[in-house]
Chain A
Amino acid sequence: MDALRYLLLINREARFLKTLSSSLLEAGFPVLAAESISDAQALLSSQAVALIICDTDLQDGDGYEFLAALKNSPDTKNLPFIFLVSARYVVDSLEEEVSKILKAFDLGAIDFIIDSMEEDVSRSLIKRLNKTLPAGFQQSADAPSAAPADETPSGPPERRDSKRIVPGYAVESEISRDGALWIPGRITNINEQGLMMETALLGKLGMSVYVRVPLPGAQTVAIRCHIRHISIIRQPSSAEVGLEADDTAEWIEIYTYIAKLMGIVKAAETKKIAGGRQESSEAPSAAQTLSERKTQYVYVDPELHAADTGQAGKALESKFYRSLIGKQLGNYKAVSFIGAGSMAGVFKGWDVLLERHVALKVISYRLSAIPSFREMFIREARMVSRLTHPHIAQLYHLDQIDDVLYLIMEFINGGTLADILKDRNNLNLAKCLEYFITTCRTLDFVSKHNIVHRDIKPANIMIDDRGVLKIVDFGIAAAGDETSESRKPEGFGSPLYASPECILGRPLDLCSDIYSLGATFYHVFAGVPPFEGETDDIITAKHLNEQLVPLKKVSPMVSGDLSDIIGKMMAKKPQERYQSYRALANDLTEVVH
């Protein structure tokens, strides 16, 4: 595409430039980047620029002066100009801030965006760009080789020399020596024979490595290459390696995509090269060989990512649980982290006195900081500790260290019903019915002690490695329920199995557990939860108002009787459900026979 015109990003922070460039690039915008006004001017004189996105403070001057200078030159006076300023540097009073923004508009800026760090700034910027730029400005990121040679330029005509240079960005990819451990790499240049990559993998000349690149359409393609050149560029943290690629169809696919993305060759040319080389390519597919290997990644903790993408409360909870990994609380060692729910983080623990594995459940700091919660929690725990039943995970101990409140429970070596649901091939109808009846009888026992579970869901029903079912998490939910602070945003466990009265915050009795039990086993037999939706609000609204699709309709192999039983368990009005587990168990036993 001869009419390729760039967005020019100007910011003094190289890191910010790189991140934003790659987001914009992914969205299909061709990008040039500059850290200073002088660099920006050099790019303006050699490249076709369609729009400028600029910070107010730059390495060698002030963004406002730069904008004024542009508006004074006939060549650039019509160039759209957007200020993008990091909130970290906006330390002015509101009045000062407003006056700066007004000044920007007076000078001719079309927008003033403050990167609040609250959300990904690239997203708001892209939205803005889509409104500002002519339709079709974006390169088609989805189909890089689809542009025909004679395509009519969609933007304004090319103004300057069409010679291409490698723009100031790189393509994110990964490199591996063994096809199992993948290390991030950035492709900085590419030609028909191979590519240059910046990476932390310290290889050696001649070494064979794999490179994989995410292509549009969520498909990742891997190729084999040989290291032909190494230079240390940022000692001691990374090297630039020159890689010669094996001549395969996958390589041509990657080359075509990246070359076009970088604007190195015209779309028509890449097509021609790709076609020509494709015919001669008979080398085996590295992607195929690699697909059989178990992969590991060098990457940053996913929880860190969660911390960076809002959900501040949840991120802090994760940080709290993470601080306890590898520690010892009283006589209990936190051996490994299993997972976190809305009320607690669970660790595989080790009792140093009794020398046995236990489940160590650390209560969320949010809840344990509330005195009324602590009281309620301890009261509930006392009650639950008195429950002795082969299908209930035993509560052994309750303690606290400083502010950290924790429970020690029977450790169940096995998986949850939720794990089993993930692999439906392992599901056996008769076995599930047996689990259903066992759960029902166990809850019958519990209800006689006036205890309501309040969070019956597949994740709270475990099957140990001997096939014995155990219900876990009694009491925690109950105590949490009483505390107003815990009701939002995740007062009740999973909305997928919550009863209407639980959603409405009404007092709960065994009928609520019966509803959740019905929803749990609906999911087990149907393979899908009774009500689904993109957000919790949509799901809870459906529990309240939407008619349940009978189980039989979703899963025709299930008997009509079982479908009816679950239908009755999930009646919207508690009084229309089973009023006792005994009646429910009787009906279920009938189904079996």
Chain B
Amino acid sequence: MKKILGIDFSPKAEIALLKILGKDAYIQYEKFQETIRIGDNDMVLLWMDEDQALVEQKIGKLRCACNFQNIPIIVMHDQPRDIPSQPYVIAGATEVLSLSDPAPACRNIINGYLIPGREPLPEEKAYLDPFIRNTCHILKTMAGMDAVFKKVYFSNAIRIFGDVSGIMGLSGNSEGTLAVTFYWDLAKTIIARMMNTEEDQIDAELIHDGVSEIINMISGTTKKDFVGKPHHFEITLPSVVVGPGHQIGYFQNTAAAVLIFEVDGQAFALHVCIKPKSAAA
């Protein structure tokens, strides 16, 4: 049984949702709180308030509470028209649905997101393993920290929801993008450990250099593992971006893998989207 967390639903909206999803759906309703926990829920449905900025803040908090896990956050409203979903998606929502959309559409979309994610194919595992190994090795070597790979999920594009991310464009035999993304606290901890200094010594420039160096090292070392293989790539200059909601590239017929790691009880994600040029669709 899939567990859904319904947040800020009015009794009227609860009834409308029940009509769409049927009686079998297991939804636990709560009011939004700053310290909200997602727990073992498989999905979050958030009822949209009038105030857009407030909704965006709530989405940001919920996305952060998901700690990089692939938990869909679906924003629902009862406004008669399809309102622009872009601001909510940038804030971290997965989808925006209206109760005035046809019920089969809402039901199918919600159920679609509840279908379990797939495991990597053998060929995907083969090219993801070096990234996993090298990411852990880099943190161990440079910061003396033990990162553990937790999980992978797949998406159609790289969409970043952390506070600070390092992005590397790939070219050559394979094309694509790598992006590592952290929340501030973990980025600061790692960089302070790399420099063997206190976290309060870490300024914006060091965050920039640190995140940029981490994505540089992940790409540089993994590139070596791919010499002579179809996934071999060349790297460019890393870009560091702040804030959530960036979507990078959109490679048709290619899946972006999101590798989730944990270090010191905090998670970070490495997005890997790589497509050998020789491979056809």
Interface residues of A (CB under 8 A from B): 13, 15, 87-88, 116-118, 176-178, 180-181, 183, 200-205, 230, 232, 236-239, 294, 296-302, 304-305, 307-308, 310, 312, 315-316, 319-320, 322-329, 333-339, 348, 350, 355, 365-366, 369, 401-404, 413-415, 465
Contact = CB atoms under 8 A, between A and B. Distances in A.
B264 interface: no
Contacts of B197: none
A348 B249 contact: no
A414 B208 contact: no
A546 B102 CA distance: 39
Given A181-B167, A312-B82, A336-B255, A404 B244 contact: no
B239 A176 contact: yes
B242 A326 contact: no
A348 B244 contact: no
B10 interface: no
Contacts of A237: 242-244
Interface stretch (B30-38, B86-94, B222-230): B86-94
B169 interface: yes
A296 B157 contact: no
A472 to B, nearest CB: 13
Given A204-B205, A327-B116, A177 B239 contact: yes
Interface of B: 50, 52-53, 70, 72, 79, 81-87, 89-90, 95, 97, 101-102, 104-105, 107-113, 115-119, 121-122, 153-157, 163-164, 167, 169, 171, 175, 177, 184, 204-205, 207-209, 236-250, 252-255, 280-281
A183 B243 CA distance: 12
Contact of A338 (B50, B110, B241, B281): B281
Given A117-B81, A302-B250, A329-B115, A365 B104 contact: yes
19 contacts: A117-B84, A178-B169, A181-B239, A183-B246, A200-B246, A237-B242, A296-B169, A296-B249, A298-B247, A299-B247, A316-B109, A319-B105, A323-B95, A323-B111, A324-B115, A327-B118, A328-B117, A333-B118, A348-B253
Contacts, number: 204
A205 B281 CA distance: 42
B193 to A, nearest CB: 20
B281 A404 contact: no
Contacts of A304: 85-86, 89
3 A-B pairs with the lowest CB-CB distances in the bound complex, closest first: A323-B112, A237-B243, A326-B154
A328 B163 CA distance: 30
Nearest to B177: A296
B95 A183 contact: no
Contacts of B242: 200, 202, 232, 236-239
A202 B52 CA distance: 27
A355 B250 CA distance: 27
A201 B240 contact: yes
Nearest to B77: A88
Nearest to B153: A326
A387 to B, nearest CB: 24
